[in-house]
Structure 1
Amino acid sequence: MTHTLMKAIVTTGNGGYEKLVCKDVPVPDIGPGDVLVKVLAAGVNNTEINTRLGWYSSSVNDSTNDASEAKAAPAAPKSDGGWNNQTPFPLIQGTDCCGLVVNVGEDGDKSLINKRVLIRPCIREHGFGSLDNIWMGSDFDGAFAQYVKIRASDVFPVTCEWTDAELGTIPCAYGTAENMLHRANLRPGETILVVGASGGVGSAAVQLAKRRGVKVIAIAGDDKHEKVARIGADRLLGRSADLLAELGEQSVDVVVDNVAGSGFPTMLKLLKRGGRLVSSGAIAGPVVDLDMRDMYLKDITLMGTTAWDEVVFPNIVRYIEQGEIQPILAKTFPLSAIAEAQAEFLMKKHVGKFVLIP
């Protein structure tokens, strides 16, 4: 490489936007089995904000918005504030990456060079037989930079007419949503309820559920209903809707709930006998009321999903290349405007994803 330094956003610790420092850092050195990827677009996710705030700590019970800059940032580093205990600050965050392979490690596949790729950010470092996982941008340096290093086995060439920014909307949201539906074994003819359907994961879940041939009921702000209907929701309900009155008990087979909070108990009442609730987040609050009778008397299955199964990311690439899903790009920002992007992200007025361009 002729480049020795690159621009990066370095998160220096738990706290507010002042912890996001734009600076020159060395371009990563790659070893055997690695590739160096030039970042073309990097999506913005809740997880980057949560990690900076230390929200994953068991000491935090607030919603992600209440834990954000509107409130006091953590006064001290959270030893359990990351996905895998303490976050290794200083850290280059960034879980989503569309990029161009510019170099490969010793004995690497040189045919990858100059290919546009998506990076699978969920790394199953002990293989897919173990649920142990680490995440790009949370456990090791990610895509909020001009270049990122990653294992060759976690880059996936993609051939399509989408823009770089459109591809930058995909990895975390669509991988997470596909993993949830795969684990829940969503089947044609079933009915699914997607809570928080206008967000990145929610809007991905709507599309990915619809392509499976199911009825999709979506919950989103009233001002977002038109856009969510356009991507496949069969029925739209507002966030303040009385779900039991609107839908009735035992009316859905699967609930995708990354919202949690005070609405969680209703979800179990909505599920049919043998229903499944699948979650990979809790933006309205991680501590919920659970009436065990609603769970065990109806043979309900509750599923947490963080480690992605092996089929998930190849599925996503295939859906893109076959034209089965569409990107929902809300807005782009230069990488240097990351604080502005995260502040607007937390306002939750958009549908789909924000993307940073280095």
Structure 2
Amino acid sequence: MGEPEVMRAVRITGHGGTEVLEPAEVAVPDPQAGEVLVRVGAVALNNTDLWTREGAYGRPGDPEALSGWRGPIAFPRIQGADVAGRVAAVGGGVDPGLVGRRVVVDPAVYDTDGPDANPVGLMGSERDGGYAEYVTAPAARVHDVTESPLTDDQLATLPTAYGTALGMIERGRLREGETVLVSGASGGVGIALIQIARARGARVLAVSSGSKTDVVREAGAHAVLDRARDIAGQIRAAAPEGIDVALDVVAGELVNEGLPLLREGGRWVVAGALGGYDVAFDVRRLYLHNAQVIGSAMHTPTHFALLMDLARRGEIRPVVAATFPLEGAARAQEELARRAHVGKIVLRPGERSPSATR
């Protein structure tokens, strides 16, 4: 196939701290029937990388159990869900015209083949991912973005963060003219939520820390609320008539404080638990006001196709906070965990420099 037989990769050898991230030379995977081999140009980091490495997802009936995204992980595992690159080779039954095309990989492993399938696995968790020079993926999950004006770094930020954001917005049925609350607004998903919600014609209230206010406002937020102060009071002041949709990656106390501020028929969409997973709220605020609490994990194939259309047209502008070479994966994850950045952190497997760039 003209590709090297061995590649550089970073694997996790078990659950734990960044010490379990192990640089290694491994065999370049062969694309099976229906698959393509992608030469990785850039791979973006996500909170999912940290939580999968730590085993922080718990299991039904045992929330403290060490577990990957959807259950036990087969180690060693190459992390990295968000891949942009070029098709290097194809397996049986795949159009050879894809070779050389610039692509983004949909990292979800779906429960069915339908357009509204649910993700039940994730590249980098249930199958090997993009912390490597090459990765295989089903041809049906590879989207040609050759014409996109976005860089590989920017394209790599899209699958999980923007896919999750678009899934939340679609499941929350956000409409033009509605008022939306976005929590965790300076993170990768938060910036994506602001940009997409603003493009839909919504009024965006964003919750962030004071030091990141300017960047969050630049992303399109109409009002920025300081998470260190009385959130409920700030929401009431900014939206006296209430909010239509909450797009929440924080959960914790915010759910209890915010649910009473939903308007009639409001929707509270949860796609993360940065503020804690053990949530209590007054259920009367739910049924008396026809409100809905909606769980949202990533996206469907339909959502992802919509996202790729936005990418081809350059209608979204991802923010890249920092880039690292592949061997800097541990340092990159440490920086992600500090949450001092705005936007996304990206690894470039083609780079061999030991220093990070900014």
Q: TM-score, normalised by structure 2?
A: 0.92
Give the equivalent residue in structure 1 for 2:125: 138
Of the three residues 137, 140, 164, the one matched with 1:153 is 140
Q: Are 1:263 and 2:249 counterparts?
A: no
Match of 1:163 in 2: 151
Q: Are residues 1:294 and 2:268 paired? A: no
User: What whole-Å deviation, never above 9, does each CA across 1:296-339 have from its counterpart, x for those lacking one?
Assistant: 11111111111522321111111122232101101101111111
**What is the match of residue 25 of structure 1?**
26
Give how far 1:250 is off: 5.6
Determine the C-alpha separation between the residues in 2 that align with 1:267 and 1:203.
20
| 250 and 90 in structure 1: CA distance in 2 versus 1, 3 angstrom threshold | farther
Q: Distance in 2 between matches of 1:330 and 1:34?
A: 32
- In the alignment, structure 1 residue 100 sits paired with structure 2 residue 86: yes
Question: Which residue does 1:197 correspond to in 2?
Answer: 185
Residue 336 of structure 2 corresponds to residue 350 of structure 1 = no
* CA distance, structure 2, for counterparts of residue 132 and residue 231 of structure 1: 28
Matched to 1:28, the amino acid is P
AA partner of residue 304 (structure 2): F
Taking the aligned partners of 1:134 and 1:313, their CA distance within structure 2 comes to 15
Q: Which of 88, 108, 114 is the matching residue for 2:100? A: 114
What SS does structure 2 have at the residue aligned with 1:325? Answer: coil
What's the C-alpha RMSD, in Å, of the aligned pairs? 1.5
- What are structure 2's unaligned runs of at least 5 residues? 350-358
What corresponds to 1:334 in structure 2? 325
> 1:211-244: per-residue Cα shift (whole Å, max 9, x none)?
1001000011111111111111000011123232
Question: In the aligned structure 1, how far is the partner of 2:265 from the partner of 2:190?
Answer: 23
Change (3 A) 1:353 1:130: closer
User: Which aligned pairs between 1:1-358 and structure 2 lie closer than 5 A?
Assistant: 1=1, 2-58=3-59, 59=62, 78=65, 81-128=67-114, 130-131=117-118, 133-158=120-145, 159-248=147-236, 251-306=242-297, 308-358=299-349
Percent identity over the alignment? 40
Contact 1:250 1:269 in 2 (8 A): no
Structure 1 SS opposite 2:247: strand
- The answer to whether the Cα contact below 8 Å between 2:108 and 2:122 also exists between their aligned partners in 1 is yes
Whole-Å separation in 1 of the counterparts to 2:26 and 2:6:
5
Distance 1:290 1:353, change over 3 A: same
1:89-137 alpha-carbon deviations (Å, 9 max, x no partner): 2111101000110101113111111011000011214223553522111
C-alpha separation in 1, matches of 2:260 and 2:138: 44
Rounded Cα–Cα distance in structure 2 between residues aligned with 1:126 and 1:162: 31
> Is the 8 Å Cα contact of residues 250 and 273 (structure 1) preserved in structure 2?
no
TM-score (norm 1): 0.92
- Give unmatched runs, 5+ long, in structure 1: 62-77
Change (3 A) 1:250 1:269: farther
* 1:247, distance to aligned residue in structure 2 (A): 2.5
- 2:5 and 2:331 map into 1 onto residues whose CA distance is 28
Q: Distance in 2 between matches of 1:131 and 1:319?
A: 21
Cα displacement string for residues 166-217 of structure 1 (whole angstroms, at most 9, x for unaligned residues): 2111111000000110111100000000000000001100001001001000
For residue 356 of structure 1, give the secondary structure of its aligned residue in structure 2: strand
Distance 1:155 1:230 in 2: 31
